[in-house]
Chain A
Amino acid sequence: MKILVVDDEADVQPLFLQRFRREIRDHEFEFDFALSGEDALNYLHDKHSEVVLILSDINMPGMSGLELLSRIRHEYDEPPPMVMMITAYGDEENHRQAMDRGANDFLTKPLDFNLLKEKLRTFSTE
């Protein structure tokens, strides 16, 4: 399962690669990264068919995660990728907006990677 992680913090990348070291080695998951909403849209433009799940931060300079979510829902319908939103502000407002805009799930920072793994496994077996 290919997962696109969108976060403006570059260090998210080694973190995911290490956290999912075994899963990646066992070819359970495959990760790609984008540093902004714009980046992510460009990536999807080329490879949207490969990506099964998008994990996006909400709070990013430029295009926010919520805007990215809306664009994805608007532009990539066939098949609709799963989108999980992550934000540092674990508040109702962002949660509601993410859900309104069609997010499949919602995670708060700091990320609980065990919970994330579980959720990803649930998605991949669905």
Chain B
Amino acid sequence: MDIFYFLAAFILIRRINKRFKFTPLYAKWHALFNVASLVVVLFYTVVRITLETWADNLIGAAVLVGIVFYADREEDFKPWRKMFIVTYPLAAVGVITGITAFVAGDFYENNHGWFDIATAAAFVWMFARWAASRKQEEELKMASIKNTELEKLVAERTAEITKQKEELEETLQELKTTQAQLIQSEKMASLGELTAGIAHEIQNPLNFVNNFSDVSAELIDEMEEELSKGDIEEAKAIAGDIKQNLEKIRHHGQRADGIVKGMLQHSRASSNVKEPADINKLADEYLRLAYHGLRAKDKSFNAELITHFAENLPTAEMVPQDIGRVLLNLFNNAFYAVQKKQAAAGDGFKPTVEVDTSLKGKNIEIVVKDNGTGIPDDIREKIMQPFFTTKPTGQGTGLGLSLSYDIVVKAHNGKIDVKSKDGEGSEFRISIPV
């Protein structure tokens, strides 16, 4: 039965050779494997013909163990170590058979059937192990194919999700742009409402500039007349008037200048730069603009404007055009409310809009009060929401108060409080830290 050892060695070499196929190792080992398998066959033939049974067995086992030993020391065979290990029992049976045959020849001769069975069993077991490990390998291979498939799937999904994420980011960016555009258009809408007010506000100082220049020219003629008459005193008095007029021209020129600058500031995208600002001046300016803006649309409208501006108010750090927008929005709302109430209540109603400023601790407080229609309880909660408006479609963006809230609360760490009684009026209280 010595053929089994050589057969095992031969098959082992062929199997490894087969495993190495299609791997980079094939080129390195392929020739050696062929030589080795040939050598095993030749060796078997030689040994079989020339030597006795005991030596056949021992040499067969030695060949097997030699191959296993050699393979064990080579790094390239590490993954196949299991295939070599399972030859140990066969080699062991070979050694035992050989030694027994040599030492106790009679015993071996009488029982050699058992030794053959042991050899065959070890061979079969080895083969079974190989088959099992091969199956395992195939399973592993299947698993790795499945893994690859899964990885591919995961990669596909990841790509899909990444794409979705990018789309979402794009949409978000679009929304942000739209929001910025909305804010800008809200500004422009409120500016549009202001146009008439601004025109009136600029017209007045311009009239003064023109009138005072005209009258000054006349005064110079008169002064020349007085001088030629020799009335120096009167000429001096006229000169004094002219000087005064020039100051007035300058004053009204600056007034118009301030209005135009304010308008530009209002329309410009906010710079978000906080600077010390005089809240009284800001409130006064925008109150007039809002009032004249409304009057330009409704000429019969008239309201009493009450202002209580606290003197010596400290300047507060703010973005003036933003706070200006808040005030403008509150004034516009107040005028809208009193106008609506006037339309409903008739002549007996005296529309009043009041603006108070004061210092409350470390906050500047601005109160805008009106005796208009008020805010019904059921919508009080909603008035700061974006796009909520009670105005007819196309007349309000619904962004005024929501932007005001953002400006005061988020950008200036301030507060907006609302008190209102349905049908009696509203009061908005803004406080901004000094």
Contact = CB atoms under 8 A, between A and B. Distances in A.
Interface string A85-100: 0001101011001000
A15 B211 contact: yes
A18 B241 contact: yes
Contacts of B200: 59, 88-89
Interface in A76-124: 88-89, 91, 93-94, 97, 109-111, 113
Nearest to A38: B304
A94 B211 contact: no
Q: Bin chain A's interface residue count.
A: 20 to 34
Contacts of B305: 61-62
A88 B203 contact: yes
B245 interface: yes
Contact of A18 (B206, B215, B303): B215
B215 A88 contact: no
Interface residues of B, number: 30
B331 interface: no
Contacts of B302: 62-64, 66-67
A1 to B, nearest CB: 21
A11 B203 contact: no
B292 to A, nearest CB: 8
Interface string B93-132: 0000000000000000000000000000000000000000
A15 B245 CA distance: 9
Interface in B213-242: 214-215, 218-219, 222, 241
Contacts of A66: 302
A62 B304 contact: yes
A115 to B, nearest CB: 13
B291 interface: yes
Query: Closest 9 interchain pairs by CB?
Result: A110-B207, A64-B302, A61-B305, A18-B215, A62-B304, A93-B299, A15-B211, A19-B215, A88-B203
11 contacts: A11-B248, A14-B241, A14-B244, A15-B208, A15-B215, A59-B295, A61-B303, A62-B305, A88-B200, A89-B200, A110-B203
Given A18-B245, A111-B207, 8 more contacts: A9-B208, A11-B248, A15-B208, A59-B292, A88-B203, A94-B299, A109-B203, A113-B215
